Amino acid sequence: MIIESDFLNLDTTYQGVDIDALRDFAAKRLPENFDKLRTQLLRGEFYNATEDRHVSHCLNRSIHNVVTAGNGKNRFCTIVRELRAGKWLGATGKPIKDVVNIGVGGSDLGPMMGSFALKEFADDNSLHHLSVHFVSSMDGGQLYAVLPIVDPETTLFIIASKSFGTIDTLANVDTVRKWIEPTLNQEQWLSRHVIGVSANNQAMTDFGIPPAQQLSFAESVGGRFSLWSAIGLPIALTVGSNQFGRMLEGAKAMDDHFANEPLEQNIPLQMALLGVYNREVREINNLAVLPYDGRLRYLPSYLQQLDMESNGKQVDFEGNAIDYPTGPIIWGGFGPNGQHAFFQHLHQGYDKFCADFVAVLKRAAPDFEPAVQEGLAEQQRLAVANCLAHRRLMWFGAENGEARNHYIGNHPSNLLFVDELTPQSFGALIAAYEHKVFTQGVIWNLNSFDQPGVEKGKKLAKEVLQVLDGNSATEFDASTDDLVRRVRR
């Protein structure tokens, strides 16, 4: 039960659902207007009712659309070229060497995952080396690590925020400003050391970012779907605009696949239906994402946002309370290391789970001596062998007499695999997950494109901060009030 597409393959054998059963399930669960909704999504016409806007990330599958989005100015490629070539000079005349992306959620996870995964595909059009760093955490923990290793005169900060109002990002920017000020004044800093990426042009202007350093994208691109937009700048800085374009091409190929292939050959559609089947029929509430290639180690956290923020919902499209299970808990980690940590529970623990194994069949290492190349190729085979073995054990189980050697198995899994990890296959992999999430949202009749739970949490945090800062005397509950007193002391 293997489906092949241009850049991505899926083996569903160990789901234990044959194609006839899947067809029956699809007939029951896919709504009649699914084709229409899918077409709307791919054309950027699907309507996100609660936020009163369309959903347009699929329009960003070509570099042309990315660079002309928002303010219609082609700044993206120029910025990428100058920074990568070492031609972008800081305010004191020194070339920029480090770029720090400050953003959180969709403005962090996608760019970070993509830059890490695709590093080796960098178009090396110059000898200049640019290091890209990521700072997202509200507590400043990452600034502690990054600030000591970069120099204000040779560092550029990307302020990446769709809304340009996220407190985590603004708090990091504020500290950065305090760190820079002894070296560069505000005018110097803003003129050469900041790029804004946002859907909120006015806020970038109000902040003082010069127009030539503002990159825009459409309000209708959701944060968790934004790595294809200018939010993907760190990826383009890492690999170059051409390779970034190839990633978009891979996603576009997956869009076409999703649009045109029948159920029997449709990767995202099968992933979605099997996921719903596992959730509803087998009552499994979680999915472990297990990449077997170190370059994809940030995939689980990326998919946590993509899936859980989209389909972790209790209200349906019409605003009614939902009384059936919706999106599962997504978790996971780098497979080979997981084998030495949490896999024990997967093989013999009490809980039900399903898994997505992600494997890369081969990896070239042309820059190394032949003997080292040989060693690395062998290691890739070793990882694939382990992936295949563990997924077998999880599905078939094993019994060797003694109870301690008993493995129940029956844990369903997908194997997503690519011949080689390339910008295209990476783009196709991520787009396949996007379409899976969309399809499941349609099946569960919920809006996958809003996040009211997140908004509520932000509001409550503001109220607590008011009290911590001594600006409000609101009382909450015994535990919170006690901790507030401790912090204030």
Ligand X SMILES: O=P(O)(O)OC[C@H]1O[C@H](O)[C@H](O)[C@@H](O)[C@@H]1O
**Catalytic site positions:** 309, 340, 458
The CA–CA distances, whole Å, from 42 to 45, 58, 169, 212, 458 equal 7, 5, 31, 31, 31
> Which range of residues in 76-84, 103-111, 252-260, 337-345 is near ligand X by CB under 6 A?
103-111
Query: What is the Cα–Cα distance from 98 to 376, expressed in whole angstroms?
Result: 30
- Contact status: 454 vs ligand X (CB under 6 A): yes
CB atoms within 10 A of CB 206: 10
Instruction: Write down the least CB distance from residue 41 to ligand X, Å.
Output: 18
Q: Which is nearer to ligand X, 139 or 187 (CB)?
A: 139
> Which range of residues in 135-143, 162-170, 207-215, 397-405 is near ligand X by CB under 6 A?
162-170
Q: H or E element: which one contains 135?
A: strand 131-135
Query: What is the Cα–Cα distance from 130 to 458, expressed in whole angstroms?
Result: 35
Among 461, 459, 439, which residue's Cα sits nearest to residue 448?
A: 439
- Contact status: 105 vs ligand X (CB under 6 A): yes
The CA–CA distances, whole Å, from 187 to 91, 181, 203, 311 equal 9, 10, 17, 44
Q: Which is nearer to ligand X, 8 or 446 (CB)?
A: 446
Of the candidate residues 166, 241, 270, 414, the single one contacting ligand X (CB under 6 A)? 166
- How many positions of this chain bind ligand X (CB under 6 A)? 14
Q: Which residue has the tokens 């899994």?
A: 413
**Residues numbered 194-223 forming contacts with ligand X, rule: CB under 6 A:** 223
> Which range of residues in 35-43, 105-113, 175-183, 400-408 is near ligand X by CB under 6 A?
105-113
- Contact status: 161 vs ligand X (CB under 6 A): yes
> Which range of residues in 6-14, 78-86, 160-168, 182-190 is near ligand X by CB under 6 A?
160-168
Q: Which is nearer to ligand X, 46 or 277 (CB)?
A: 46
Of the candidate residues 29, 75, 84, 224, the single one contacting ligand X (CB under 6 A)? 224
- Contact status: 114 vs ligand X (CB under 6 A): no
Strands 53-55 and 46-48: antiparallel
List beta partners, residue 155. 98
Strands 286-291 and 354-360: parallel
Among 311, 357, 316, which residue's Cα sits nearest to residue 334?
A: 357
- Contact status: 451 vs ligand X (CB under 6 A): yes
Q: Which is nearer to ligand X, 12 or 311 (CB)?
A: 311
Instruction: Write down the least CB distance from residue 455 to ligand X, Å.
Output: 8
Strands 53-55 and 98-102: unpaired
Q: Is 1 helix (H, G, I), strand (E, B) or coil?
A: coil
DSSP secondary structure letter of residue 89: B
Of the candidate residues 3, 8, 41, 104, the single one contacting ligand X (CB under 6 A)? 104
Instruction: Write down the least CB distance from residue 104 to ligand X, Å.
Output: 5
Q: H or E element: which one contains 423?
A: helix 423-443
Q: Which residues bind ligand X (CB under 6 A)?
A: 104-107, 161-163, 166, 169, 223-224, 309, 451, 454
